[in-house]
Structure 1
Amino acid sequence: MVEFKALYFASARDAAQDKAFEILQIADKQPATMASALECIKVTYPKMKSVLESAMIALNERYCDKDDMASIEIKDMDTVAIIPPVSGG
């Protein structure tokens, strides 16, 4: 089992029921990957699915390529940030 810290910004925070962050667990997946972390988030918060379609994803403050999610390994207590597009003026 791998625990990771999930950070939610803007509409991701709304989808996560106003939580800014939390600790989640990926059970029985070795190695744990970014794809399994995102699946864990989607199972916990079904509304997050639409947010993730356009959000940037960061692992330990580094942006991840969406094409590489299955190969990016998550280690215990890594930080996964969900950063939706921001608009404003």
Structure 2
Amino acid sequence: MASTKPPAGQFNMLYFAAASTYAKKQSEHLKAPLPVSELFDTLEQLYPGIKEKVLSSCMLTVNLGYVDLDDAAGIKIKEGDEVAIIPPVSSG
């Protein structure tokens, strides 16, 4: 999934696996800056039910670095950042 540079004042939001299925897209641009602590509420407004069905068990990356959601206070997603929702995956 190739991401493109977002327009001014926005960041890239990438969806993988179940997140992509739920949002019915692989990526989009969202308004920046945005505190990480508000991201899931923002996505819930866009995709009602996504918090319970997908986000409650996912990982989050900002610029390819994993973010500890329990310790995300004060972290802001900035213009041009790349954020990814990565649900758990299984293999067999």
Report what 2:29 is aligned to.
23
1:87 aligns to what SS in structure 2?
coil
**Cα distance in structure 1, aligned partners of 2:49 and 2:84:** 16
**Cα distance in structure 2, aligned partners of 1:48 and 1:75:** 23
Identity of aligned residues (%): 45
Spell out structure 1 runs of 4+ moving beyond 3 A.
Answer: none
Report what 1:77 is aligned to.
80
Report what 1:43 is aligned to.
45
- Given the two structures, how large is their TM-score scaled by the length of structure 1? 0.82
- Given the two structures, how large is their TM-score scaled by the length of structure 2? 0.80
Q: CA contact under 8 A between 1:15 and 1:47: conserved in structure 2?
A: no
Q: CA contact under 8 A between 1:54 and 1:84: conserved in structure 2?
A: yes
Does residue 12 of the first structure (1) align with residue 19 of the second (2)? Answer: yes
The CA RMSD measured in Å over matched residues stands at 1.8
Report what 2:66 is aligned to.
63
Deviation of the 1:44 alpha carbon: 0.6
Unaligned runs of 5+ in 2: 1-8
Deviation of the 1:24 alpha carbon: 1.3
Deviation of the 1:32 alpha carbon: 2.7
Deviation of the 1:71 alpha carbon: 1.7
**Cα distance in structure 1, aligned partners of 2:65 and 2:84:** 9
